[in-house]
Amino acid sequence: MKTKSILIIAFILLISKPVFSQTAFKVEVKGKGTPVLLFPGFGCTGEVWNETVAEISKNHECHIFTFAGFGNVSPIEEPWLSTIKNEVIAYVKTKKIKKATLIGHSLGGTLSLWLASEEPDLFKNLIIVDALPASAALMIPNYKGEKIPYDNPQSKMMLSMDKKAFNAMNSQSTSYMCLNKEKQKTINEWMSVADRKTYVYGYIDMLNLDLRKEISKIKIPVVILAATNPDLNTVQNTYKAQYENLPSVKIYYAANAAHFVMYDQPEWFMDKVKLELK
């Protein structure tokens, strides 16, 4: 009888455990209505969407993500990006979130493309903010899809940088990516608290992701809100080449905006987002 009781207790404990436990991100939920998942760019927290959420949460249930290793979210082991992707799918299915809109900036936009390529019936539409299916093709001359190893001289150098040099590097990069001086400070603060290993190896994960062929599997509407700084013609050519296999994509170009379009052209950005959510 005692053995039977122990088995019953063990069974109750087993079935009472949460059916889903994720470590690759934290999510804050605000608002009520049709669901929207918001993914930040590399190194940023979900706070990058504060102004956006203040508006759209009036009519939408916003799930605001911060990825592992950034903000106050504990880092995870590699592979970082594929773990995030898999856990987002599990999160959506476990929470029974039906036909959500995905809004993703930079890395978050690339992640949105990956999710919609792999799960073409799970989401409603994508709003991509200045993101590409293959970042490496933009950054590496004559890129042919070769994989970058975690252990390389550049990674070792970045992992060994002291905090002052690391922050200086990020500040210089931010000045090109965002024209809004006040928001540059906020972005730099996020970068300064990022887990260094996540920053280095997670970026390699992003560079090693080439979705230029995979995006042909996407069935839902995709809208891109693209930066134009420093040169519109170059940007247009880049998007045309990278999204060649997704001819249905709709692209809006934000004048006088760098990578952080939502900060450089907030009214234009908000108008476009509201239009697409309708």
pLDDT of 8 above 60: no
pLDDT of 4 above 60: no
pLDDT at 20: 53
Weakest mean pLDDT among 10-14, 249-253, 265-269: 10-14
User: How many CB atoms are closer than 10 A to CB 140?
Assistant: 13
Look-up of token digits 């070792």 = 156
- pTM of the predicted protein model: 0.92
pLDDT of 214 above 80: yes
When pLDDT is averaged across residues 111-128 and rounded to a whole number, the result is: 97
Residues 162-191 have pLDDT tens digits of 999 999 999 999 999 999 999 999 999 999
Q: Which of 105, 117, 81 is nearest to 206 (CA)?
A: 81
Render the chain in DSSP notation, one character per residue. -HHHHHHHHHHHHHHHS-S----SEEEEEE--SEEEEEE--TT--GGGGHHHHHHHTTTEEEEEEEETTSTTPPP-PSPHHHHHHHHHHHHHHHTT--SEEEEEETHHHHHHHHHHHH-TTTEEEEEEES--S-HHHHHSTT--SPPPPSSSHHHHHHHH--HHHHHHHHHHHHHHH---HHHHHHHHHHHHTS-HHHHHHHHHHHHT---TTGGGG--S-EEEEEE--S-HHHHHHHHHHHTTT-TT-EEEEETT--S-HHHHSHHHHHHHHHHHH-
Q: Which CATH code for domain 17-277?
A: 3.40.50.1820
Domain assignments of the chain as residue spans, ordered by start? 17-277
Angle between helices 181-192 and 163-177 (to 10 degrees): 140
Higher-confidence position of 113 and 17:
113
Using alpha carbons, list the distances in angstroms from residue 126 to 29, 99, 144, 147, 179. Answer: 19, 11, 27, 27, 25
